[in-house]
Amino acid sequence: MASIFLPFFSPYLLLLLPLVVAQSSAGGNIRVGSSIEATRDAKPWVSPSSDFAMGFQQLENDNDLFQLAVWHYKIPRRTIVWYASGTKQAPRRSKVELTADRGLVLTDPKGQLIWRSEFAIGDVSFARMNDTGNFVVYGSSSEPLWESFENPTDTLLPNQVIQRGGKLSSRQKENNFSKGRFQFQLREDGNALLNTINIESEFFYFAYYTSGTDDQANKTNSGYQVRLDEDGSFYVLRGNNQRHSLIGEDDGVHSADYYHRATLNFDGVLTLSSYPKNPISSNVNWSVRTTIPDNICITGFNRFGSGTCGYNSICTLKPDKRPQCKCPRGYSLSDPNDEFGNCRADFMQGCEADPQSSHEGLYDLDELQNTDWPTFDQEVISPCSVDACKAYCLQDCLCTVAIFNNGKDCVKKTLPLPYGRQDRQVNTIAFVKVRKPEFAHGNPPIISTVYEKRNRNSLTVLISVLLGSSVFVNFVLLGLLCMASSFLYHKRVSRNHSNKNGIQSSLRCFSYKELEDATNGFGTELGRGSFGIVYKGVIKSDSQDPIEVAVKKLDRVVEDTDKEFRTEVSVIAQTHHRNLVKLLGYCDEGRYRMLVYEYMRNGTLASFLFGDLKPSWNQRTQIAVGIARGLCYLHEDCSPQIIHCDIKPQNILLNDYHEARISDFGLSKLLGIDQSFTNTAIRGTKGYVAPEWFKTVPVTVKVDVYSFGVLLLEIICCRRNVAMDVGEEERVILTDWACDCFSEGVVDALVENDAEALMEKTKLERFVMVALWCIQEDISLRPTMKKVLLMLEEMIMVAPPPLPCPSYMLA
């Protein structure tokens, strides 16, 4: 009977055949030409067991954007375990298709490529969403051409392996799938570690967690795989097949009855989580078994710039061991939508914002127990009481926060503060300087109003006394009043004259005769530079002890107008940094132009470096970092930007504690460099001049970076850049020799008999690499001084510089 109806139904069976084939392919192989469109109801490619699926996930914060992803298909709240990384999100109606020549291809509605699976060579036969969570594209011989397990994003699944050189990368935010700042990787030395990176440059910051699975004694036993097993075991597998568990304490959840995953979250916390495969209710959530590190607010970021929270913020740990970020009182988020972002002050502060009078009346101190900002110390005062610590910060216009620790030390800090942490493990008190409400917007008129009111009240009292006194007393008082008025008038005229000249009233204006007397007729010469001669002097005053000074007679600014000179002196006067020599005053009289600086007792760095006794390695590295900080301030924080143009050992002075102070930092300004670049004639000193001075290209702050690189090599090696007496011809020019030593892997030859430097070979290599980056001929390859400072202080990783090294110019 059935055979009778078969011819009648056969056309309909043929029509239904594609539907049968499509149904049978669900959970099986995915054919070339198959595709999914980014819509809310689009059906994904599902694994045979339906444990995992690949397709489009709609973003929670934008209904018109989708993410191509793999997720746990059976879990009600879909948990993404892989996504097409490094791409923009897919707009609605985008399409992912399995093609014969390129594998998976994701395009937008206009057909523009968004992402594709990369593989070297091969023709695609089919693809498959496997029950392990691994999506694989297979070739004609059923060999894998591309698989998601080999291209991990932020999650590691059971049976997925991280080999040496492999890594997980965090997202930027929970719903932002762009690459974030955190990495979990297995290094070539066998260590599994967590570290931050600079997103723009991908510079590698140092680790805030390390497994310690490198074996220096027997490298074959170092870690070579990171594995997550089906029972939830999470470990580094060593070369001798021993397991190094990454789980602190055994939580008892070692069972294949659970889904397991290790995820590097956007906040830098690596979490190991489990979810029952057969939950007893629909309200079950992922259970966090382990977090690495245990306390991200405390662990690791004390040397590496901003941590899981942004600059100027405070990190606290929530009960689930995930970080929470908040701004101190008086600060708010730069981006209100980014709770992990930077905080900015809601008030004006700093030396330029505050009046030149006492700063104490402008600010309150907000006391935060168990709080610290562990990096970027401005100054350490020890021993110190808590009251003195608070007073020191209030009196210092550069101080933003004072940290009182161990009951005796006071550490002053200035903005920006890389990150703070608040925890019971922190045994310090933080005093955050917050401007009082009445001065929140920097209103000096309030101060002057109070002052004038006080003066009016005093005048009222004085008149009352006069009217009620005898004639003789009245004459005496009137005489005193006239004398006081005359004094105040002349003082006001003097101040107005100074302001009229455009120079800060905080600077003292000396006459030529005063400086001639102070220097004993310019009798004691301290040194000669490209801009003039420096003399030692002593400034005497009735109100304070004599002050030793260095007086620089300028001989190359006579052609400048008076207005330009005063403007530039005012610019120099506004610089405030511990690694710059402080300007105390000036002389602007007739044809004489002089600058008065604080006197540095230990002289120049040249005398210190190239004398008979070699300074210690620690002293030299500290000096190098100090110079970098000073240059960074001139380039980044001054307005207008200051290009020094003559960085060399003779222009670096040392104070009583051998701390570096850059001198002549304003003379380039006095000679007219007041833009971000210049095409002016060559300036500087032979051996330190950047190559662009000889080319028809704009000169930028990178000329100082080049000079610093040469100077850094001199500091490392304790020798001059050009030394004709070294004996061997290849050593005559230091920059060339340093390049040769680095390329041959023998940087220790640069410090041959310096046992202290040889003991810190890693630091030595880092400083040499930084110097070689600085002296690159290609301006674009030279780092900024900010980046130089970060590299010297181990805040970012230093990549090997390009070779061959730049040629040396003897100009």
Give the count of beta carbons closer than 10 Å to the beta carbon of residue 241: 7
Q: Residue type for 122, please?
A: G
CA dist 728 and 723 (Å) reads 10
Chain position carrying tokens 């030793």: 548
CB 446 within 8 A of CB 357: no
Residue 332 sits at φ, ψ, to 5 deg, of -145, 165
DSSP 8-class letter at 722: B
Token reading at 318: 């929530």
CA torsion, points 632, 637, 643, 647, in degrees to nearest 10? -30
DSSP 8-class letter at 681: P
Token reading at 794: 């181990």
Q: Residue type for 606, please?
A: A
DSSP-derived 3-state class of residue 481? helix
Pairing of strands 80-83, 62-72: antiparallel
For residue 532, what are the contacts with CB-CB under 8 A and spacing of at least 6? 552, 553, 554, 555, 556
Looking at the DSSP bridge assignments, the partners of residue 661 are: 653
Token reading at 638: 């001054």
Looking at the DSSP bridge assignments, the partners of residue 377 are: 413
CA dist 284 and 76 (Å) reads 9
612 classed as catalytic:
no
Chain position carrying tokens 């006071």: 410
Q: What is the largest CA-CA distance in the chain?
A: 145
CB 272 within 8 A of CB 260: yes
Chain position carrying tokens 């929970």: 174
Length of the chain: 811
CB 197 within 8 A of CB 234: no
Token reading at 260: 């397991």
H or E segment to which residue 15 belongs:
helix 2-25
H or E segment to which residue 768 belongs:
helix 761-774
Looking at the DSSP bridge assignments, the partners of residue 90 are: 66
553 is in an annotated binding site: yes
Give the count of beta carbons closer than 10 Å to the beta carbon of residue 588: 17
Give the count of beta carbons closer than 10 Å to the beta carbon of residue 392: 17
| Catalytic residue chosen out of the listed positions 51, 372, 646, 754 | 646
CB 512 within 8 A of CB 537: no
Token reading at 367: 């006391």
- DSSP H helices, 692-754, are 702-717, 734-743
CA dist 8 and 555 (Å) reads 111
Sheet holding 234-238, edge to edge: 161-163, 223-228, 234-238, 243-245
Q: Residue type for 489, please?
A: Y
Pairing of strands 592-598, 583-589: antiparallel
CB 776 within 8 A of CB 788: no
DSSP-derived 3-state class of residue 593? strand
Query: Among 308, 277, 309, 273, which Cα is nearest to 288's?
Result: 273
CB 765 within 8 A of CB 745: no
Token reading at 724: 């004709």
Distances in Å between the Cα of 55 and the Cα atoms of 37, 44, 172 are 9, 4, 21
Known binding residues are 553
Would you list which residues are annotated within the binding site for ATP?
A: 553
Q: Which amino acids are annotated catalytic?
A: 646
